[in-house]
Structure 1
Amino acid sequence: MTVQNVQQWFESSLGQYLIEHEQCYFDQVVANIFGYNAVQIGWPQFNFLRLNRMPFHFSVGLETGASLRAAPGFLPIQSNSVDLVILPHTLEFNANPHQILREVHRILIPEGHVVISGFNPFSLWGVCHYLRSTRREFPWNGQFIALSRLKDWLKLLDFEMAGGRLCCYTPPFKQEKWRKRLSFMEAAGDRWWPISGGVYFLHAIKHMHGMRIIKPDWKNCLNARKKMVPVAQRVNEASLEEKSAEKLNQTDESRR
């Protein structure tokens, strides 16, 4: 499928519906993640890092508009140097999603964050993925990954699940009027069928075995030093007095 056709889909009513929900979730999550470097891999035409307050943001991908033109599976980024990585449907449209996750794990610092979005194959959106009439169209031509499988992949890489949710419970009709008629499904989705949302989000944190970040307790250290100073001075003063007394005694004896 050409880039032009992909862009046309995003400009459609259904594409705007998807982007609206995705932008809302990413805005909410990335705003509370702090650090120095944040990377978005894929979909550079949308700025899902716009509310993140890290000093340095950039996008990576082979698409036009990416800040860094590189394959997601082979990132020219230093290991342990990135605080946040977001993957908006990046895994589904690449031949080797495992390699991408390994690269994300490599470039993330310990306790670094990754936020992933994907299409749920066990949903009304996933049905379109299996239909012969739509299988070659974007986004139904992607390799949809089940949420449970993605969690297993992340656990194998020592990621810990920190949050997530599902959205887009309304059937993916191209006509906006039909989606509006079924908008009640969106409102009741989280309560009545929480696992059947068309799109899922997953937030995970990288952990390192046997590693624990210990911050210096500067306050207690300073207090301890203050308490030690007078004691040291008293000891020195006492020793000086004893030495001076001994000298005086020696002087008196010599005079006698």
Structure 2
Amino acid sequence: MKHSSTEKPIIALRSWLQTPAGAYVRQWEEARLSLLTADIFGFNAVQIGLPEIDGLAASRMPHRWIVDTRVPQDRKLQAVVVGDYGELPFATQSLDLVLLPHVLEFAHEPHQVLREVERVLIPEGQVIICGFNPASMWGARQAAARLRRKAFLPQSGEFISVPRLKDWLKLLNMEVHPGHFGAYAPPCDTERWLQRFEFMERMGRRWWPYLGGIYIVQAIKRVKGMRLIGPAWNRKKATARQGVPVTNKQTNHKSHG
């Protein structure tokens, strides 16, 4: 089978997630994603890429898919195989939630992936993005290791800072929530050393909350002109005609480390 141009860069990350450091990242992200997705209501949720991360395990939506460039071995969700994450096989304004775990960092055209996400999301739909934080010890080690041509993380990825990502989302009329940061321990290669530095998780959340090795950014799609004015009974009728679930809104969460 011929691999797509999307899969080639990210395939190295699939293997890295099986290392002690990768398991450490996966554990934090799955725990945080469970908290976030459990309170997002609607009908259709999609995770794009990296089925190794079970990001929709706590989602209550009746229809959940995993979109990947190959059929996942462990098919916990309905699988959709695509050639490129920048061309999603979903109708416009058909999804309530899209999850992007590290896809943008390994995509040849991350802007196109985001544009596709914006297209398939319904008004008030949400996107959740996981990424490695360049402003962290993890980012510093990756930058230093590249000079020695022995990168800690896959070299094919490009770290995207949170401010830069937020700018991209705002250009697509996305309202960005406060970010969530984790992985404050140094980027160690062994489980033993990662456990030794476990105390830094508590310290990091309190003293340097924006310097975690990984982040999660959540945003809501806003559509100009969609706000309805008039009596309450008129708003209910208009919402019903649009076919958008009224339970699709989520209460804002405060930033956590």
TM-score band, normalised by shorter chain: 0.7 to 0.9
3-state SS, counterpart of residue 92 of structure 1 = helix
Write the distance in 1 (CA, Å) between the matches of 2:11 and 2:159.
22
Shift of 1:211: 1.1
Q: How does 1:1-150 map to 2 (within 5 A)?
A: 6-65=13-72, 67-70=79-82, 71-130=84-143, 131-132=145-146, 133=148, 138-150=153-165
Q: Which has the larger radius of gyration?
A: 1
Measured at CA, do residues 62 and 163 of structure 1 come closer, stay the same or move farther in structure 2, by a change above 3 Å?
same
**In structure 2, how many angstroms separate the alpha carbons of the residues matched to 1:13 and 1:170?**
13
d(CA) in 1 for partners of 2:9, 2:106: 13
Deviation track 1:141-194 (CA, whole Å, cap 9, x = no partner) reads: 311001000000000100001232100000110122222222221111111111
Q: In structure 2, which of residues 200, 222, 239 is the aligned counterpart of residue 185 of structure 1? A: 200
Q: Structure 2: which amino acid aligns with 1:13?
A: P
Residue 244 of structure 2 is matched in structure 1 by none
Separation (CA, whole Å) in 1 of partners of 2:98 and 2:43:
12
**Higher RCO structure (Cα 8 Å, ≥6 apart):** 2
Residues 41 and 184 of structure 1, relative CA distance in 2, 3 Å threshold: same
- Seen in structure 2, the aligned counterparts of structure 1 residues 42 and 170 have a Cα distance that, compared at 3 Å, is same
TM-score, scaled relative to structure 1: 0.79
Query: Aligned pair in 2 of structure 1 residues 7, 116: CA closer, same or farther (>3 Å)?
Result: closer
CA distance in 1, matches of 2:40, 2:192: 37
Larger helix proportion, structure 1 or 2? 1
The answer to whether the 8 Å contact 1:31/1:53 transfers is: yes
1:204 aligns with 2:204: no
Contact 1:36/1:55 (<8 A) preserved: yes
Contact in 1 for aligned 2:9/2:157 (Cα 8 Å): no
User: SS where residue 102 of structure 1 aligns?
Assistant: helix
- Tell whether the 8 Å contact from 2:93 to 2:119 is kept in structure 1 after alignment: yes
- Asked whether the 8 Å contact 1:128–1:140 carries over to 2, the reply is no
Give the secondary structure class of the aligned counterpart of 2:210. Answer: coil
Stretches of structure 1 that go unaligned for 5 or more consecutive residues are: 222-256
Question: Counterpart of 1:144 in 2: which secondary structure?
Answer: coil
Change (3 A) 1:4 1:97: closer
> What letter corresponds to residue 152 of structure 1 in structure 2?
D
User: Equivalent residue for 2:4?
Assistant: none
Q: How many residues align?
A: 220
Change (3 A) 1:92 1:112: same
Question: Cα RMSD over matched residues?
Answer: 2.4
1:75 is aligned with what amino acid? L
| Cα drift, residue 137 of structure 1 | 5.9
Deviation, 1:138, is 4.0
Task: Quote the offset at 1:196 in angstroms.
Answer: 0.8
CA pair 2-191 structure 1, distance change in 2 beyond 3 A = closer
Identical positions, percent: 43
Displacement after TM superposition at 1:46 (Å): 2.8
